[in-house]
Protein backbone atom coordinates (compact mmCIF):
# COMPACT_ATOMS: atom_id res chain seq x y z
CA UNK A 1 0.00 0.00 0.00
CA UNK A 2 2.86 2.31 0.87
CA UNK A 3 4.51 1.55 -2.49
CA UNK A 4 1.22 2.31 -4.27
CA UNK A 5 1.06 5.73 -2.61
CA UNK A 6 4.64 6.49 -3.67
CA UNK A 7 3.95 5.44 -7.26
CA UNK A 8 0.79 7.57 -7.31
CA UNK A 9 2.65 10.59 -5.94
CA UNK A 10 5.41 10.24 -8.52
CA UNK A 11 2.82 9.91 -11.29
CA UNK A 12 1.06 13.09 -10.17
CA UNK A 13 4.40 14.93 -9.94
CA UNK A 14 5.31 13.88 -13.49
CA UNK A 15 1.95 15.08 -14.79
CA UNK A 16 2.51 18.44 -13.10
CA UNK A 17 5.99 18.79 -14.65
CA UNK A 18 4.72 17.91 -18.12
CA UNK A 19 1.91 20.43 -17.75
CA UNK A 20 4.34 23.15 -16.65
CA UNK A 21 6.74 22.35 -19.50
CA UNK A 22 3.89 22.52 -21.99
CA UNK A 23 2.90 25.96 -20.75
CA UNK A 24 6.49 27.12 -20.82
CA UNK A 25 6.95 25.89 -24.37
CA UNK A 26 3.77 27.64 -25.44
CA UNK A 27 4.86 30.86 -23.79
CA UNK A 28 8.31 30.62 -25.38
CA UNK A 29 6.71 30.14 -28.78
CA UNK A 30 4.59 33.23 -28.26
CA UNK A 31 7.57 35.25 -27.07
CA UNK A 32 9.69 34.68 -30.16
CA UNK A 33 7.69 35.56 -33.24
CA UNK A 34 10.54 37.01 -35.32
CA UNK A 35 13.26 34.86 -36.87
CA UNK A 36 16.61 35.73 -38.41
CA UNK A 37 19.54 33.99 -40.10
CA UNK A 38 22.28 33.44 -37.46
CA UNK A 39 24.86 34.47 -40.09
CA UNK A 40 22.82 37.57 -40.99
CA UNK A 41 23.22 36.83 -44.70
CA UNK A 42 20.54 39.46 -45.41
CA UNK A 43 21.62 41.96 -42.79
CA UNK A 44 18.91 42.70 -40.21
CA UNK A 45 16.11 41.13 -42.25
CA UNK A 46 13.69 39.07 -40.17
CA UNK A 47 10.91 36.57 -40.90
CA UNK A 48 7.58 36.04 -39.19
CA UNK A 49 7.85 32.24 -39.39
CA UNK A 50 10.60 29.73 -38.63
CA UNK A 51 12.41 28.04 -41.50
CA UNK A 52 15.78 28.20 -43.21
CA UNK A 53 17.83 31.04 -44.66
CA UNK A 54 17.33 31.23 -48.45
CA UNK A 55 21.04 31.98 -48.88
CA UNK A 56 23.07 29.80 -46.48
CA UNK A 57 20.22 27.32 -45.73
CA UNK A 58 20.87 27.46 -41.98
CA UNK A 59 17.87 27.30 -39.64
CA UNK A 60 16.45 30.70 -38.74
CA UNK A 61 16.81 31.57 -35.06
CA UNK A 62 14.25 33.40 -32.89
CA UNK A 63 15.51 36.92 -32.23
CA UNK A 64 12.78 39.06 -30.68
CA UNK A 65 9.16 39.53 -29.85
CA UNK A 66 6.98 42.01 -31.69
CA UNK A 67 5.54 43.03 -28.35
CA UNK A 68 8.99 43.99 -27.10
CA UNK A 69 9.70 46.32 -30.02
CA UNK A 70 10.79 49.76 -28.85
CA UNK A 71 8.22 52.39 -29.67
CA UNK A 72 9.50 55.55 -31.34
CA UNK A 73 8.82 58.40 -28.95
CA UNK A 74 9.15 60.95 -31.75
CA UNK A 75 11.91 62.92 -30.04
CA UNK A 76 14.61 64.58 -32.15
CA UNK A 77 18.23 64.31 -31.07
CA UNK A 78 20.66 67.21 -31.08
CA UNK A 79 22.37 65.67 -34.12
CA UNK A 80 19.22 65.69 -36.26
CA UNK A 81 18.86 67.96 -39.28
CA UNK A 82 15.19 68.26 -38.28
CA UNK A 83 16.30 70.85 -35.71
CA UNK A 84 16.87 73.29 -38.59
CA UNK A 85 13.89 75.63 -38.86
CA UNK A 86 14.57 77.04 -42.33
CA UNK A 87 11.75 76.85 -44.87
CA UNK A 88 12.07 75.24 -48.30
CA UNK A 89 10.06 75.22 -51.51
CA UNK A 90 9.63 71.90 -53.31
CA UNK A 91 9.48 71.41 -57.07
CA UNK A 92 5.72 71.11 -56.61
CA UNK A 93 5.50 74.60 -55.10
CA UNK A 94 4.88 73.41 -51.54
CA UNK A 95 6.59 75.08 -48.58
CA UNK A 96 8.06 72.66 -46.05
CA UNK A 97 10.62 72.32 -43.28
CA UNK A 98 13.12 69.48 -43.16
CA UNK A 99 11.18 67.94 -40.27
CA UNK A 100 8.35 67.28 -42.72
CA UNK A 101 10.62 64.61 -44.24
CA UNK A 102 10.78 62.77 -40.91
CA UNK A 103 9.96 59.07 -40.96
CA UNK A 104 11.91 58.07 -44.05
CA UNK A 105 15.57 57.37 -44.76
CA UNK A 106 16.93 60.36 -46.68
CA UNK A 107 19.57 60.35 -49.41
CA UNK A 108 20.56 63.97 -49.94
CA UNK A 109 22.87 65.85 -52.29
CA UNK A 110 23.49 69.52 -53.03
CA UNK A 111 23.59 70.55 -56.70
CA UNK A 112 22.54 73.37 -59.04
CA UNK A 113 20.69 72.76 -62.28
CA UNK A 114 22.83 74.93 -64.59
CA UNK A 115 25.96 72.99 -63.67
CA UNK A 116 27.62 71.33 -66.66
CA UNK A 117 30.45 69.46 -64.95
CA UNK A 118 30.11 67.77 -61.56
CA UNK A 119 26.34 67.97 -60.96
CA UNK A 120 25.28 65.78 -63.90
CA UNK A 121 27.60 63.10 -62.50
CA UNK A 122 26.15 63.54 -59.00
CA UNK A 123 22.66 63.14 -60.46
CA UNK A 124 23.82 59.98 -62.23
CA UNK A 125 25.27 58.71 -58.94
CA UNK A 126 21.92 59.27 -57.20
CA UNK A 127 20.06 57.40 -59.93
CA UNK A 128 22.61 54.60 -59.78
CA UNK A 129 21.99 54.26 -56.04
CA UNK A 130 18.22 54.20 -56.61
CA UNK A 131 18.61 51.44 -59.21
CA UNK A 132 20.26 49.18 -56.62
CA UNK A 133 17.48 49.52 -54.03
CA UNK A 134 14.73 46.86 -54.10
CA UNK A 135 11.23 48.18 -54.77
CA UNK A 136 10.01 47.10 -51.35
CA UNK A 137 12.58 49.40 -49.72
CA UNK A 138 11.71 52.50 -51.76
CA UNK A 139 8.57 53.15 -49.69
CA UNK A 140 10.86 53.95 -46.75
CA UNK A 141 13.25 56.08 -48.78
CA UNK A 142 13.35 59.65 -50.12
CA UNK A 143 15.97 61.10 -52.48
CA UNK A 144 16.38 64.84 -51.89
CA UNK A 145 18.31 67.26 -54.12
CA UNK A 146 18.98 70.67 -52.57
CA UNK A 147 19.90 73.56 -54.83
CA UNK A 148 22.85 75.75 -53.92
CA UNK A 149 21.57 78.38 -56.39
CA UNK A 150 18.16 79.38 -55.00
CA UNK A 151 17.90 82.48 -57.19
CA UNK A 152 18.00 80.48 -60.43
CA UNK A 153 16.52 77.19 -59.27
CA UNK A 154 12.90 78.18 -58.72
CA UNK A 155 10.29 75.45 -58.08
CA UNK A 156 9.28 75.67 -61.75
CA UNK A 157 12.87 75.27 -62.89
CA UNK A 158 13.42 72.36 -60.51
CA UNK A 159 10.24 70.68 -61.79
CA UNK A 160 11.47 70.90 -65.37
CA UNK A 161 14.88 69.57 -64.36
CA UNK A 162 13.27 66.63 -62.52
CA UNK A 163 11.21 65.64 -65.56
CA UNK A 164 14.15 65.97 -67.95
CA UNK A 165 16.23 63.66 -65.74
CA UNK A 166 13.42 61.15 -65.08
CA UNK A 167 13.46 62.05 -61.38
CA UNK A 168 9.86 63.13 -60.98
CA UNK A 169 8.61 60.04 -59.12
CA UNK A 170 7.26 60.18 -55.57
CA UNK A 171 10.62 59.13 -54.10
CA UNK A 172 12.32 62.26 -55.49
CA UNK A 173 12.16 65.74 -53.91
CA UNK A 174 13.89 68.94 -55.04
CA UNK A 175 14.31 71.86 -52.64
CA UNK A 176 14.83 75.58 -53.11
CA UNK A 177 15.73 77.48 -49.96
CA UNK A 178 16.91 80.94 -49.00
CA UNK A 179 20.54 81.93 -49.37
CA UNK A 180 21.05 81.74 -45.60
CA UNK A 181 19.09 78.49 -45.27
CA UNK A 182 21.15 76.80 -47.98
CA UNK A 183 24.39 77.97 -46.37
CA UNK A 184 23.29 76.69 -42.97
CA UNK A 185 22.35 73.29 -44.40
CA UNK A 186 25.64 73.06 -46.33
CA UNK A 187 27.58 73.69 -43.13
CA UNK A 188 25.75 70.83 -41.41
CA UNK A 189 26.66 68.47 -44.28
CA UNK A 190 30.25 69.80 -44.45
CA UNK A 191 29.56 70.76 -48.07
CA UNK A 192 31.64 73.70 -49.26
CA UNK A 193 30.55 75.84 -52.20
CA UNK A 194 31.43 79.19 -53.70
CA UNK A 195 29.91 81.21 -56.51
CA UNK A 196 32.59 81.90 -59.12
CA UNK A 197 30.36 83.49 -61.78
CA UNK A 198 26.66 84.45 -62.08
CA UNK A 199 25.69 80.90 -63.07
CA UNK A 200 28.63 78.83 -61.89
CA UNK A 201 29.69 77.43 -58.52
CA UNK A 202 32.57 75.38 -57.21
CA UNK A 203 31.36 72.86 -54.63
CA UNK A 204 31.96 69.63 -52.73
CA UNK A 205 30.64 66.39 -54.20
CA UNK A 206 29.02 64.63 -51.25
CA UNK A 207 25.98 62.34 -51.03
CA UNK A 208 24.66 62.02 -47.47
CA UNK A 209 22.42 59.33 -45.97
CA UNK A 210 20.25 60.15 -42.94
CA UNK A 211 18.15 57.78 -40.85
CA UNK A 212 14.43 58.40 -40.37
CA UNK A 213 15.17 60.68 -37.40
CA UNK A 214 17.39 62.95 -39.47
CA UNK A 215 20.70 61.74 -38.05
CA UNK A 216 23.66 61.36 -40.40
CA UNK A 217 24.44 57.69 -41.05
CA UNK A 218 26.86 57.76 -43.98
CA UNK A 219 28.51 60.05 -46.53
CA UNK A 220 29.83 59.22 -49.99
CA UNK A 221 32.38 61.66 -51.33
CA UNK A 222 33.54 61.96 -54.93
CA UNK A 223 32.14 61.36 -58.39
CA UNK A 224 31.41 57.92 -59.81
CA UNK A 225 32.84 56.22 -56.72
CA UNK A 226 31.97 52.72 -55.49
CA UNK A 227 28.59 53.05 -53.79
CA UNK A 228 28.51 49.61 -52.19
CA UNK A 229 28.76 50.97 -48.63
CA UNK A 230 26.16 53.65 -49.37
CA UNK A 231 23.68 51.11 -50.71
CA UNK A 232 24.31 48.77 -47.77
CA UNK A 233 23.65 51.58 -45.30
CA UNK A 234 20.38 52.42 -47.05
CA UNK A 235 19.25 48.79 -47.05
CA UNK A 236 19.97 48.46 -43.34
CA UNK A 237 17.99 51.62 -42.58
CA UNK A 238 15.00 50.78 -44.79
CA UNK A 239 14.54 47.09 -43.95
CA UNK A 240 11.62 46.11 -41.69
CA UNK A 241 10.25 49.62 -41.17
Radius of gyration of the chain (CA): 26
Q: If DSSP codes are grouped into helix, strand and coil, which group holds residue 196?
A: strand
SS (H, E, C) 45-68: CCECCCCECCCCCCECEEEECHHH
- Say yes or no: domain 81-238 is CATH 3.40.30.10: yes
Separation CA 148–CA 86 (nearest Å): 14
For 54-61, what is the mean pLDDT? Answer: 71
pLDDT at 51: 82
CB distance 108 to 206 below 8 Å: no
Separation CA 50–CA 36 (nearest Å): 8
Pick from 64-68, 110-114, 132-136, 163-167: least confident: 64-68
Q: Is 6 a residue whose pLDDT tops 80?
A: no
Q: What does DSSP assign to residue 13?
A: H
pLDDT at 76: 85
Q: Is 209 a residue whose pLDDT tops 70?
A: yes
Q: Is 213 a residue whose pLDDT tops 90?
A: yes
pLDDT at 240: 60
Name which of 172, 147, 150 is nearest 162 in CA terms. Answer: 172
Separation CA 176–CA 86 (nearest Å): 11
pLDDT at 129: 97
- Mean pLDDT of the residues in the chain: 82
Q: Is 101 a residue whose pLDDT tops 80?
A: yes
Kind and range of the H or E run holding 138:
helix 135-138
Q: How far apart are the first and last CA of the chain?
A: 65
Please, what is the angle between helix 118-131 and helix 228-238, to 10°? 50
Q: Quickly state the pLDDT bin for 138 (edges 50, 70, 90).
A: very high
For 148-152, what is the mean pLDDT? Answer: 93
Q: Is 92 a residue whose pLDDT tops 80?
A: yes
Counting beta carbons within 10 angstroms of the beta carbon of residue 45, is it exposed (0 to 12), middle (13 to 18) or buried (19 or more)?
Answer: middle
Separation CA 152–CA 85 (nearest Å): 22
Domain positions in the chain are: 33-66, 81-238
| % of the chain residues with pLDDT over 90 | 61
For 32-40, what is the mean pLDDT? Answer: 66
CB distance 180 to 86 below 8 Å: yes
Amino acid sequence: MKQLKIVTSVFILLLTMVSCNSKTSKNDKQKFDLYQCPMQCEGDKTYSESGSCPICKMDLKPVASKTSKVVDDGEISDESIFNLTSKWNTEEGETIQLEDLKGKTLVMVMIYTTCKAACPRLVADMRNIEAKIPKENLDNLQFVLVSIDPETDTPEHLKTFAKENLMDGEQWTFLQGTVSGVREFANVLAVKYKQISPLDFSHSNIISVFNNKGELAHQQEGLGVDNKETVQTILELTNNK
